Amino acid sequence: MADNTEEPRLHGGLRLMHIAGIQITIDLSWFLIFILVVFSLSAGYFPRQFPGQGMAVYWVAGVLATLLFFGSILVHELAHALMAMRAGIHIPEITLFIFGGVSRMSEEARDPKTEFTIAIVGPLTSFALALLFWGLNRGLAADQPSLVGTVCAYLAWINMAVGIFNLMPGFPLDGGRVLRAFLWHQYASLTRATRTASNVGQGFALLLMVFGALQIFAGSLVGGLWLLFIGMFLRGMAKEGYQEVVLRQALAGVPVQDVMIRDVVSVPPDLSVNRLLPEYFLRYGYHGFPVTENGKVSGVVSLDEVRQVPEEARSATTVTQIMQLLSHATTIAPQASLTEALSKMGQAGIGRLLVMQDATMRGMITKTGLLRFLEIKQVLGQPGPKDSSLFIP
């Protein structure tokens, strides 16, 4: 599932590796579903489908099948990401979590055709994987039935199910994004197309929730709860997908210097992390600060960096050891638009940018400040794009 929204971002994940420059992350919730799937396959599905084997064999098969299943999810997301990158859209991260996977896109597709190709390639990849595993199963079955063939049959079925589910017209599922591409072409308006696709997506999510509740009342507690949680998740994502488009439209054309924080609180590089927390983060309530020495900016330090320092090491660790160095990715010009600032934050995966001109810090722009700016525009009766009042959660 491709996702262009910037919030909520999945935190607390385990960073595995980079593929084609994309950070692959496993959210902590993934481990829960991994254990549940392994147990379901090892203790139930494989013993029923291929009886007569020892439990150790079933557990090995269960772990292998589960790894290949999530590997298939990763391939599905990589297909989205590589197609987006081919269209010039930066993909900073792919996260595997309890409901599958999500590719975090730094910006919207530029036209309906690009949106369609990015969306449709995911289900097509899942169908291709289903065909591959089906062929492997058929080849193994031609010799004699085996547990490996049963694993391949399961992977063929589950990839087919993933492909079909993602084609459902519920935004932000791939089918919902295909629907949005069609509506975008028809309406010639991304905002209107996203609003309609989001409403359809919320309706689809409500149907899942109702069906889940009915299953719970019918006695299928686990299956019903699963559908209920998926419906709740999709409903929230559908709302956020529309909110993100409205936000970008409302920020278009407004220069960074009109919204930036001018009186920026900065921290010295030799300050210990142990002192940084009470003297700056707790005192001012900000999530990040520029790091300056003798009026010269050297980097930015945020709570994300502080969290990575063990508590026992905070007194011996200085700000300069954990800060993000000043770079093109963490700075922006005062004349740049707020839309560009939001896109740049998404690409770098950060919540603030330093506003620099001629090597001098003029201010700082934060994602929280952008949201506050939009809220004020609404209060003043300047919502930006049509129907942007629906942005309010």
CB 357 within 8 A of CB 333: yes
Catalytic residue among 77, 93, 107, 340: 77
Token duo for residue 275: 């002192």
Instruction: Give dist(CA 194, CA 187) in Å, integer.
Output: 10
Instruction: Give dist(CA 150, CA 158) in Å, integer.
Output: 12
> Is 312 one of the catalytic residues?
no
Sheet hosting strand 22-26, strand order edge to edge? 2-3, 100-104, 93-97, 22-26, 14-19
Q: Is the peptide bond before 51 cis (omega within 30 degrees of 0)?
A: no
- The DSSP code for 267 is B
Token duo for residue 343: 């896109």
Token duo for residue 276: 């940084």
Instruction: Give dist(CA 200, CA 203) in Å, integer.
Output: 5
Instruction: Give dist(CA 141, CA 164) in Å, integer.
Output: 25
CB 353 within 8 A of CB 341: yes
Three-class DSSP category at 310: coil
Sheet hosting strand 296-302, strand order edge to edge? 288-293, 296-302, 324-325
For the chain, counts of helices (H) and of strands (E): 14, 11
- Residues with catalytic roles: 77
